[in-house]
Chain A
Amino acid sequence: ETGVTQSPTHLIKTRGQQVTLRCSSQSGHNTVSWYQQALGQGPQFIFQYYREEENGRGNFPPRFSGLQFPNYSSELNVNALELDDSALYLCASSLAKGGAYEQYFGPGTRLTVT
């Protein structure tokens, strides 16, 4: 177990709705990254937060947004859900910002958009 937790485990939403996913990072880790993993694909980077500020962003539209809190937990918000947003959403925590450090993944939230 990595110590990274995510909630909820599964979620079903309707197209056009909004969703909030939550992540608690491993103790002592100040950086959280979010990834989207479509079925049969590798994870795709959404964005990273370091000490409550966005540190970088992948090729995702603005309706994907995030927050990091003083305790380093994080939220991923997706507005105006589309069918293609159906995926496993993973968060990963690490001790320092950037990609060149061990990132420990949570179990993911499976989002289904109907």
Chain B
Amino acid sequence: GESVGLHLPTLSVQEGDNSIINCAYSNSASDYFIWYKQESGKGPQFIIDIRSNMDKRQGQRVTVLLNKTVKHLSLQIAATQPGDSAVYFCAENSGGSNYKLTFGKGTLLTVNP
């Protein structure tokens, strides 16, 4: 069935390093993808989104890459800071008038000072 999955459940990096969080999706009809950050005890926080007609989008310190050929999504965080420590989720919309987002299980990012 349709699913969104993550390659790495945990990622530990040093402060100042760049982080890359990966996500695989299985529904080739998905046309919209979002990355969310969720800190302990809080709701998911929107980071960046990308539509299927793009392969790259940049925000402040973050870049999302979309490879539709292999159905892969990644989030790159530049100069990772301790405040970036959280669980990161990718989510997909399966296209058309589909009303819901399908979330992956999440990757825990830990930034060591």
A interface residues, Cβ below 8 angstroms from B: 2, 4, 33, 35, 40-45, 48, 55-56, 58, 90, 92, 97-100, 102-108
Supplied contacts A42-B104, A104-B46, A105-B44, 15 more A-B pairs, CB within 8 Å: A35-B103, A43-B44, A43-B101, A43-B103, A55-B99, A98-B93, A98-B97, A99-B32, A99-B93, A99-B98, A100-B95, A103-B34, A103-B101, A105-B45, A106-B43
- Partner of A108 from the list B43, B95, B98, B106 (CB cut-off 8 Å) is B43
A20–B69 CA distance with the chains assembled, in angstroms: 44
CB interface residues, B 94-110, toward A, < 8 Å:
94-95, 97-106
Q: Chain A: interface secondary structure?
A: loop
A90 touching B99 in the complex, CB below 8 Å, given contacts A42-B89, A99-B93: no
Interface magnitude class on chain B: 20 to 34
Pairwise interchain contact B100-A48, C-beta atoms closer than 8 A? yes
B interface residues, Cβ below 8 angstroms from A: 4, 31-32, 34, 36, 41-46, 49, 51, 89, 91, 93-95, 97-106
The residues of B that contact A55 with a CB separation of less than 8 Å are 99
- Partner of B100 from the list A56, A104, A106, A108 (CB cut-off 8 Å) is A56
7 nearest A-B pairs in the assembled complex, by CB-CB distance? A56-B99, A42-B103, A99-B93, A105-B43, A45-B100, A100-B32, A100-B93
B54 CB, min distance to chain A CBs, angstroms = 13
Pairwise interchain contact A102-B44, C-beta atoms closer than 8 A? no
